[in-house]
Amino acid sequence: MDVNYNVTYGNENELKCTGNINSENETGNESEKHEDESLKKDQAKLSEIRELGNTNMTGPDQSIQILPIIGQVEGHVVLPPQTKSTKYEHLIPQLISMEQNDKVKGVLIVLNTVGGDVEAGLAIAEMIYSLSKPTVSIVIGGGHSIGVPLATSADYSFITPSATMIVHPVRMNGFVIGVAQTFHYFKKMQERINSFIVRTSKIDKDELERMMLKSDELLNDMGTMLIGEQAVECGLIDKVGGIKEALAKLNELIKEKEEEK
């Protein structure tokens, strides 16, 4: 609304009223601008959740960062769109960012995975293991296959009472050459995984191999299913607990690290 303050007629009250309307219009424009900025921020957050499966990236105000590994670990082959997956090319830069950010004091890894690409899963596990920040992992639904070394890679590991972990030998899909060298390659790959699990947990190597080669527990498959406390008893996981216990342990490790400085 335009106002001409040079008019020579009309009373003063009308002029003041018109000026107030202009002020209200300016306030309304600022409010709309603020709402647009807020909407853009919300859209950016939704895009982050959709693309990375993460509700908060490394931020300056968060001392504990959450790293969810959900669904199937996607490696060098893109999985079908209907498959829930965690992409390793998303996790690697997040881990590097957490390591470089001095405001980040600890990392909580939340696992509910059926396994996936061995190379990608083992790469993520090695990166978690090499972090200088205290780390705690928790298996909340399942930590199967390559999810086992992902769970043991943290400084301390938890599993909920109803969560499961399946330990089994490596598998391969697609074209396989039926020669002895192929089986030697499988054996070396399995040794890499076993070596990492033994190095990062309390399980005995012979016990781990026995569970992997067990043939009377899984239908048409080899391996062992561990439920809650069983994973602790064999030495794979440190303790049975939930989010409360996992966060309490992580805060304890953070405090110990700060006292060492």
Residue among 114, 126, 116, 136 nearest 225 (CA): 114
Question: Are 208 and 192 part of one and the same domain?
Answer: yes
Q: What would the two tokens of residue 145 be?
A: 């296959």
Question: Are 44 and 97 part of one and the same domain?
Answer: no
- Inter-residue contact 195 to 226 (CB < 8 Å): no
Residue 3: give the domain boundaries.
1-50
Taking the alpha carbons of 32, 38, 42, 47 in that order, is the dihedral positive or negative?
positive
Q: CA-CA distance, 147 to 38, in Å (whole number)? A: 38
Among 137, 153, 157, 168, which one carries the catalytic annotation?
168
Burial (CB count within 10 angstroms: exposed 0-12, middle 13-18, buried 19+), residue 59? exposed
Question: Are 98 and 76 part of one and the same domain?
Answer: yes
Question: Are 1 and 107 part of one and the same domain?
Answer: no
Question: Are 134 and 165 part of one and the same domain?
Answer: yes
Examine the residue annotation and report whether 76 is marked as an active-site residue of this protein: no
- Inter-residue contact 157 to 136 (CB < 8 Å): yes
What does each of the 261 residues of the chain score in pLDDT, given as a tens digit?
444 444 444 444 444 444 454 555 555 566 666 666 766 666 665 565 555 555 455 444 578 999 999 988 888 888 888 888 888 888 999 999 999 999 999 999 999 999 888 889 999 999 999 999 999 999 999 999 999 999 999 999 999 999 999 999 888 777 888 888 888 888 898 999 999 999 999 999 999 999 998 888 887 778 899 999 999 999 999 999 999 999 999 999 999 998 887
Question: Are 43 and 68 part of one and the same domain?
Answer: no
Question: Are 205 and 222 part of one and the same domain?
Answer: yes
Examine the residue annotation and report whether 145 is marked as an active-site residue of this protein: yes
Which one of 50, 68, 85 terminates a domain?
A: 50
Question: Are 4 and 91 part of one and the same domain?
Answer: no
Q: What would the two tokens of residue 16 be?
A: 């003041």
- Indicate the number of domains in the chain: 2
Among 145, 153, 157, 201, which one carries the catalytic annotation?
145
Q: What are phi and psi of 60, to 5 degrees?
A: -70, -15
CATH number of the domain within which 213 lies? 3.90.226.10
Residue 7 vs residues 19, 101, 107, 197, 258: alpha-carbon distances, Å: 13, 62, 68, 86, 72
Question: Are 64 and 172 part of one and the same domain?
Answer: yes
Question: Are 204 and 89 part of one and the same domain?
Answer: yes
